[in-house]
Chain A
């Protein structure tokens, strides 16, 4: 997966707090001030993350903060 391309797409909608490998099986994205919808986020990760980490371990959008974990 191309992290640089992923970050560029995410930054359209908010501040990237964390976007990286978390451990041997998971990838974590944390966003602040997300201005889009949850579907906007899902559209991006479906292309950039899901092919490598197909299982969604967590995905929440609360007060503009996205917390997400994707697992192998």
Chain B
């Protein structure tokens, strides 16, 4: 190691093989671009990379901006450590990550209808049931980024009625309706970003019920979304009720139900949808 020329080591670590006009600092200045500032190459580098030198020396501000750290209290030793001991590659500044979307404490609300539909969001007469509904992107509010809660409206349930082993999922879907044959796993639909938003035993009360997601769903702002209820209770129980529904359009909902095992076949399509509110 050449202890007498840390600037040359810095230049070579950038891939510069020759000095310019006999100086390595000018070669580094040309590497970073920009014009000569105040007659010094070092100052022009400071200017080119936008280093803040207001709280220390020029070399300290510059090295901090370029991502070097001190070694034994010295930036030049830090450069050497990064360049020589780090295998010849200078440290790369860590980019600032984009900010993560956060819930805003607001709700998008569907239309509210009064049609009683016993299959939504699950059908208690059978051991297993599936209920899937689409929310069109054209219905959703501007500014929604992250869904974190779901409310839905039911009636007719015996107090404390519970669907054990319920799984609720969300997806993006390109289509605004269920197309062709619609299977319970949505395998032939244009879905993506499958997310299990909630799992557990779902105890219902008549009126509005709210679920806070275990895993939030980030909306891409473009596609429609699917909310899928998988009722894997495994037995039926009387005292079940119905979901309150509103008309949307053909094939906006798909459902099925059966005894003895979870259904894997095709679902019945329907034009009315459970009244819901989505927290975001």
Contact = CB atoms under 8 A, between A and B. Distances in A.
Contacts of A30: 125, 236
A24 B259 contact: no
Given A20-B238, A57-B118, A25 B156 contact: yes
A24 B259 CA distance: 24
Given A28-B238, A57-B118, A69-B118, A23 B125 contact: no
Contact of B158 (A18, A23, A57, A71): A23
Q: Summarize B's interface: helix, strand, loop or mixed.
A: loop
Contacts of B118: 26, 57-58, 69, 71
Interface stretch (B79-87, B142-150, B173-181, B239-247): B239-247
B157 interface: yes
Interface string A46-63: 000000000001100010
Contact of A22 (B126, B155, B240, B259): B240
A62 B126 CA distance: 12
B271 interface: no
User: For chain A, which range describes its interface: under 10, 10 to 19, 20 to 34, or 35 or more residues?
Assistant: 10 to 19
A25 B239 CA distance: 11
B156 A28 contact: no
Contacts of B196: none
Contacts of B195: none
B116 interface: yes
Given A57-B118, A65-B259, A69-B118, A24 B156 contact: yes
A58 B239 contact: no
B238 A18 contact: yes
B116 A28 contact: no
Given A57-B118, A58-B125, A25 B242 contact: yes
A26 B242 CA distance: 10
Contacts of B240: 22-23
Contacts of A26: 118, 156, 242
26 contacts: A18-B238, A20-B238, A22-B239, A23-B156, A23-B157, A23-B239, A23-B241, A23-B242, A24-B155, A24-B156, A25-B116, A25-B156, A26-B156, A28-B125, A28-B238, A30-B125, A58-B118, A58-B123, A62-B258, A65-B259, A67-B125, A67-B126, A67-B236, A69-B118, A71-B116, A71-B118
The 7 A-B pairs with the shortest beta carbon distances in the complex, nearest first, are A23-B156, A22-B238, A23-B241, A67-B125, A24-B156, A57-B118, A69-B125
Interface of A: 18, 20, 22-26, 28, 30, 57-58, 62, 65, 67, 69, 71
